[in-house]
């Protein structure tokens, strides 16, 4: 058909169930299986066909069916219960924020992707799911919080395997009327448009509202008739077609995102950049201050003082960087708008790169983000450490562990990923309000009261559901590829519910080493085909469309799964998304993760599995390095890095097989003499991982470590026409100018060996070049291994400084003396970027 227009005819909801529509437009249902059940019950086939989409389901269900359920007492009682719970959730006054920190200032959170639910495919993987979960817990805890993202109208891709197991991508144009979003309306009830100039073109951006419990997400959409065909594609796909497309998307997210907040009058005093993609928000925030009359440096200081940056990428090459020429094309008019020079603006982002054997200055999104924020963090303790090492060069004179990048370990939104059956079981031992204090570690000890049988019954049911789901999916795939009827029929017998089942699902980035398990096929075959104690594996995951090595991994697993010795025992499922993720984390017995350490910044899928009683079996990287306690799962390999990757792979693979054979399989089948029961490990994994890696704990950490302090500091710098920001900016300008003229020389009477507790005298001679003594810190720095201790030197006459430095414990110490300019209220000692070592 040649479509000339579209119209949606809305169903008439009978009065008895009139609020189903309201429920469909609030993602509260995405973590509430009972709410989903109300839609599923309307028509299970429609529900399944349209990715569990409540809005779509309401549009598709025949009117007669609506009348029918509206007359069904059992449906109405379920409906009444869900609506009562929903109202109680929405109206709750004593939230965590209201009772603990009511003065918290409003937060604006920017992320390129969000994973809320499979029916809203605007995420590619872990980063998006993390952002979606962050919003859900921000709602649960009652944060004043608004999120900003992009409405990708072709979503991320749908993954299809061909007959040979090669990944193909399919892009479906989303029909926006079937999504739980509404146009954001301005004060006069008009649809809001914001405009952004990119490369001389005026781009119109429509703003949509997505309601997630109590909080709102604003989604930016360039696919509007005012824009050219090319510009309409700016919000078609995640992470663009090429570098040019990507940069423009970043401009849209950052600049149009801030403008959307302003157009809607959304209050925001703390700004959180989730990954460097969001960093260009600072251009617009600085521009606003410049427009209000501030000079560039004061404006930049003010904007930065309320900005937090979270980095997720532990490899240098994974951090986006663009040539200055490319940036000129898309942000070339910004230096003028900010009343600064290109040189000064780009200096905030400069990171020289090696391209084709040449050193080229590049605009790094991460470097820019670090320079235009005053707080930064990695996403696990180890990733914090790795990040401090990676970005140490931006803080000359700082020791690695002084680099001002902290960490907040990731979490996952428990309720989104925990099955209803497990929730029901947990409710039998946890207090009535357990879903509201998920981070409470003591509360979770009650899980010890669950019996082995209770757990294994629930886990068996979850596993059955997963196996049925996998068989259905594989059958569909085989039919689509025109496979022989015998093969299609065989899919009815894939996997066995009595067999130890291990899940592995994530993006197929090569560092995640999806094929590590296959390093020794013969040994794997012995494990899988053990006559009494077999093991089976389920894989899933998407490779980035341009990542052929990742696609080759998928194909390798697919081919192994077709070999006769592994058929029906190793399965790889298509189209990993949140739906597949939920089925797998709920249904498998163990969750496997074997990335190449330390490249997994955090990882979160193992947390979701633990919530459901599937212990984690993983390399001690990311979150698991903190989460593993000796009893709640198993490690793989050692806590170290290797120079030779092949050696690392061999060592890890060997350890993986050994632990499976010697520890995990015997424990699962109850054949380990004297060892604890399988259920003991299951209980331990639920009770330790659920609170510590709850998204609720994560968001509380962000509030306490960052949102609260930054909000106060930012407000202090911005008050009275940014008076303090102006002082700080002026002071930095002055000390930077004086610094080359300063001088320091130091002396210490160090013996070659010393007794513990002995003191050494350290002295320095300083020429402060006019910098006031109270603004100059002269200190001795004592380093022993990773530990760094500071001892201030006291000012004496004529530029002399002295201190007695105690050597407290035994060990090999290095001593240095340095000076740095400081004033009260800086975000870190390295903010001015000036350190001089003697």
Ligand X SMILES: *Cc1c(COP(=O)(O)O)cnc(C)c1O
Mask for 37-76, x = binds ligand X (CB under 6 A): ----------------------------------------
Q: How far is the CB of 508 from ligand X (least distance, A)?
A: 10
Q: How far is the CB of 581 from ligand X (least distance, A)?
A: 3
Distance, first Cα to last Cα, the chain: 78
Nearer to ligand X, 305 or 694 (CB): 694
d(CA 723, CA 714): 12
Q: How far is the CB of 580 from ligand X (least distance, A)?
A: 7
The 10 Å Cβ neighbour count of residue 662 is 11
The 10 Å Cβ neighbour count of residue 382 is 25
d(CA 145, CA 105): 9
Residue owning tokens 């080493």: 513
Nearer to ligand X, 236 or 610 (CB): 610
d(CA 666, CA 522): 20
Residues 597-636 that bind ligand X (CB under 6 A): 603-605, 608
In the chain, count H helices and then E strands: 33, 30
Nearer to ligand X, 439 or 577 (CB): 577
Choose one: 54-62, 124-132, 163-171, 466-474; the region binding ligand X (CB under 6 A).
124-132
Query: E strand or H helix at 788, and its extent?
Result: strand 787-792
* Binding status of residue 581 toward ligand X by CB under 6 A: yes
Q: How far is the CB of 116 from ligand X (least distance, A)?
A: 11
Q: How far is the CB of 423 from ligand X (least distance, A)?
A: 18
Residues 651-710 that bind ligand X (CB under 6 A): none
Paired tokens of 300:
């930049």
d(CA 383, CA 407): 8
Q: How far is the CB of 600 from ligand X (least distance, A)?
A: 7
Paired tokens of 535:
């093991």
Nearer to ligand X, 125 or 633 (CB): 125
Q: How far is the CB of 603 from ligand X (least distance, A)?
A: 4
Choose one: 125-133, 328-336, 473-481, 496-504; the region binding ligand X (CB under 6 A).
125-133
> Which residue, among 222, 238, 255, has the nearest Cα to 112 in the 3D structure?
238
- Please identify which residue in 55, 104, 108, 129 interacts with ligand X, judged by CB under 6 A: 129
Residues 448-467 that bind ligand X (CB under 6 A): none
Nearer to ligand X, 289 or 624 (CB): 624
Q: How far is the CB of 285 from ligand X (least distance, A)?
A: 30
d(CA 228, CA 323): 26
CA contacts within 13 A on the Cβ side of 309: 28
- Please identify which residue in 54, 121, 126, 213 interacts with ligand X, judged by CB under 6 A: 126
Nearer to ligand X, 231 or 589 (CB): 589
Nearer to ligand X, 506 or 683 (CB): 506
Q: How far is the CB of 47 from ligand X (least distance, A)?
A: 19
Choose one: 12-20, 80-88, 572-580, 821-829; the region binding ligand X (CB under 6 A).
572-580
Q: How far is the CB of 217 from ligand X (least distance, A)?
A: 18
Nearer to ligand X, 334 or 539 (CB): 539
- Number of residues near ligand X (by CB under 6 A): 12
Contact indicator for 634, 667 with CB cutoff of 8 Å: no
Nearer to ligand X, 31 or 289 (CB): 31
d(CA 679, CA 449): 11
Nearer to ligand X, 391 or 508 (CB): 508
**3-state DSSP helix/strand/coil % of the chain, to nearest 5:** 45, 20, 35
Nearer to ligand X, 192 or 607 (CB): 607
Q: How far is the CB of 505 from ligand X (least distance, A)?
A: 7
Q: How far is the CB of 234 from ligand X (least distance, A)?
A: 25
Q: What is the DSSP letter of 278?
A: G
For residue 180, say if its preceding peptide bond is cis, omega within 30 degrees of 0.
no
Q: How far is the CB of 408 from ligand X (least distance, A)?
A: 15
CA contacts within 13 A on the Cβ side of 100: 10
Is 483 exposed, middle or buried, given 0-12, 13-18 or 19+ CB atoms closer than 10 A? middle
Choose one: 43-51, 576-584, 634-642, 780-788; the region binding ligand X (CB under 6 A).
576-584
Nearer to ligand X, 125 or 404 (CB): 125
Q: How far is the CB of 55 from ligand X (least distance, A)?
A: 21
Alpha helices in 630-779 (DSSP H): 645-659, 665-668, 678-692, 695-702, 708-738
Q: How far is the CB of 576 from ligand X (least distance, A)?
A: 6
Nearer to ligand X, 583 or 836 (CB): 583
Nearer to ligand X, 32 or 586 (CB): 586
- Return the beta strands (E) in 20-114 as ranges: 107-111
Nearer to ligand X, 301 or 577 (CB): 577
Query: How many residues make up the chain in this entry?
Result: 838
Question: For residue 374, what are the contacts with CB-CB under 8 A and spacing of at least 6?
Answer: 304, 305, 306, 307, 308, 710, 713, 827, 831
Q: How far is the CB of 593 from ligand X (least distance, A)?
A: 6
String of DSSP letters for 401-457: GGSS-EE----B-HHHHS-HHHHHHHHTTS-TTGGG-TT-HHHHGGGGGS-HHHHHH
Nearer to ligand X, 167 or 302 (CB): 167
Q: How far is the CB of 131 from ligand X (least distance, A)?
A: 11
> Which residue, among 662, 641, 636, 678, has the nearest Cα to 517 in the 3D structure?
636
Q: How far is the CB of 277 from ligand X (least distance, A)?
A: 17
d(CA 257, CA 218): 8
Residues 474-533 that bind ligand X (CB under 6 A): 506
Nearer to ligand X, 322 or 576 (CB): 576
Residues 765-824 that bind ligand X (CB under 6 A): none
> Which residue, among 585, 584, 592, 602, has the nearest Cα to 698 in the 3D structure?
602
> Which residue, among 124, 128, 126, has the nearest Cα to 114 in the 3D structure?
128
Is 743 exposed, middle or buried, given 0-12, 13-18 or 19+ CB atoms closer than 10 A? middle
Choose one: 57-65, 106-114, 123-131, 685-693; the region binding ligand X (CB under 6 A).
123-131
- Please identify which residue in 320, 577, 652, 831 interacts with ligand X, judged by CB under 6 A: 577
Choose one: 386-394, 573-581, 692-700, 795-803; the region binding ligand X (CB under 6 A).
573-581
d(CA 310, CA 836): 29
Nearer to ligand X, 370 or 557 (CB): 557
- Return the beta strands (E) in 142-275 as ranges: 145-150, 158-161, 167-170, 181-183, 193-198, 201-212, 215-221, 270-274
Q: Would you tell me which residues interact with ligand X (CB under 6 A)? A: 125-126, 129, 506, 576-578, 581, 603-605, 608
């Amino acid at each position: 058909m040649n479509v000339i227009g579209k119209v949606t005819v809305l169903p008439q909801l009978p009065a008895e169930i009139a609020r189903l529509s309201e429920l469909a437009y609030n993602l509260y249902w995405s973590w509430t299986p009972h709410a989903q059940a109300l839609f599923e019950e309307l028509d299970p086939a429609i529900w399944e066909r349209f990715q569990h989409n409540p809005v779509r389901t309401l549009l598709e269900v025949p009117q007669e069916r609506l009348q029918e359920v509206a007359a069904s007492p059992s449906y109405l009682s379920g409906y009444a219960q869900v609506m009562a719970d929903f109202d109680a959730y929405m109206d709750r006054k004593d939230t965590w924020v209201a009772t603990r920190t009511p003065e918290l200032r409003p937060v604006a959170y920017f992320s390129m992707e969000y994973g809320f639910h499979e029916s809203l495919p605007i995420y590619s993987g872990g980063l998006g799911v993390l952002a979606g979960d962050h919003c859900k817990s921000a709602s649960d805890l009652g944060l004043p919080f608004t999120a900003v993202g992009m409405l990708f109208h072709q979503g991320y891709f749908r993954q299809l395997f061909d007959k040979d197991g090669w990944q193909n991508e399919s892009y479906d144009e989303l029909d926006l009327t079937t999504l739980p979003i509404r146009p954001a309306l301005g004060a006069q009830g008009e649809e809001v448009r914001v405009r952004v100039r990119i490369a001389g073109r005026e781009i119109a951006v429509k703003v949509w509202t997505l309601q997630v419990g109590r909080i709102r997400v604003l989604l930016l959409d360039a696919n509007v008739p005012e824009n050219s065909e090319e510009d309409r594609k700016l919000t078609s796909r995640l992470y663009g077609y090429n570098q040019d497309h990507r940069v423009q998307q970043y401009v849209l997210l950052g600049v149009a995102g801030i403008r959307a907040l302003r157009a809607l009058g959304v209050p925001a005093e703390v700004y959180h950049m989730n990954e460097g993609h969001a960093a260009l928000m600072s251009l617009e925030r600085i521009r606003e201050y410049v427009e209000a009359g501030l000079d560039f440096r004061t404006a930049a200081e003010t904007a930065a003082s309320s900005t937090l940056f979270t980095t997720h990428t532990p490899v240098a090459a994974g951090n986006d960087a663009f040539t200055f020429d490319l940036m000129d094309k898309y942000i070339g008019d910004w230096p003028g708008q900010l009343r600064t020079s290109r040189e000064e603006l780009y200096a905030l982002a400069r990171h020289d790169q090696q391209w084709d054997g040449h050193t080229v200055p590049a605009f790094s999104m991460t470097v820019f983000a670090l320079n235009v924020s005053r707080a930064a963090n990695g996403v696990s303790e180890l990733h914090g450490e790795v990040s401090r090492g990676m970005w140490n060069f931006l803080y000359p004179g700082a020791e690695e562990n002084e680099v001002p990048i902290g960490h907040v370990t990731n979490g996952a939104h428990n309720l989104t990923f925990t099955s209803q059956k497990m929730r029901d079981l947990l409710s039998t031992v946890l207090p009535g309000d357990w879903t509201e204090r998920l981070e409470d570690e003591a509360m979770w000890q009650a899980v010890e009261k669950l019996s082995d049988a209770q757990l294994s019954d629930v886990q068996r049911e979850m596993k059955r559901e997963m196996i049925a789901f996998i068989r259905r999916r594989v059958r569909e795939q085989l039919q689509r590829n025109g496979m022989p009827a015998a093969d299609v029929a065989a899919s009815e017998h894939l996997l066995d519910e009595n067999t130890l089942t291990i899940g592995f699902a994530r993006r197929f980035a090569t560092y995640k080493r999806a094929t590590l398990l296959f390093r020794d096929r013969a040994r794997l075959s012995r494990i899988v085909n053990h006559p009494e104690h077999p093991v089976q594996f389920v894989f899933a995951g998407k490779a980035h469309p341009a990542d052929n090595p990742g696609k080759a991994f998928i194909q390798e697993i697919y081919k192994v799964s077709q070999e006769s010795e592994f058929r029906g025992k190793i399965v790889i499922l298509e189209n990993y998304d949140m739906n597949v993720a939920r089925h797998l984390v709920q249904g498998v017995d163990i969750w496997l993760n074997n990335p190449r350490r330390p490249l997994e910044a955090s990882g979160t899928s193992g947390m979701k599995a633990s919530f459901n009683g599937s212990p984690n079996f993983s390399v001690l990287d990311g979150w698991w390095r903190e989460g593993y306690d000796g009893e709640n799962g198993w490690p793989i390999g050692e806590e170290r890095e290797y120079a030779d990757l092949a050696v690392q792979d061999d060592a890890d693979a060997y350890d993986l097989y050994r632990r499976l054979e010697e520890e995990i399989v015997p424990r699962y089948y109850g054949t380990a003499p004297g060892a604890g029961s399988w259920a003991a490990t299951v209980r331990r994994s639920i009770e330790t991982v659920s609170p510590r890696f709850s998204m609720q704990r994560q968001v509380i950490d962000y509030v306490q470590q960052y949102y609260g302090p930054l909000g106060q500091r930012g407000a202090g710098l911005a008050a009275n026409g940014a008076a303090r920001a102006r002082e700080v900016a002026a002071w930095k300008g002055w000390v930077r100018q004086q610094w080359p003229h300063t001088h320091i020389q130091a002396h210490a009477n160090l013996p070659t060996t010393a007794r513990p507790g002995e003191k050494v005298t350290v002295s320095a001679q300083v020429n402060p070049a006019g910098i006031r003594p109270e603004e100059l810190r002269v200190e001795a720095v004592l380093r022993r291994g990773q530990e760094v201790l500071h001892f201030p030197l006291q000012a004496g006459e004529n530029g002399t400084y002295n201190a007695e430095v105690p050597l407290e414990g035994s060990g090999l110490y290095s001593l240095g003396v340095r000076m740095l300019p400081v004033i009260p209220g800086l975000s870190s000692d390295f903010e001015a970027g000036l350190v001089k070592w003697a």
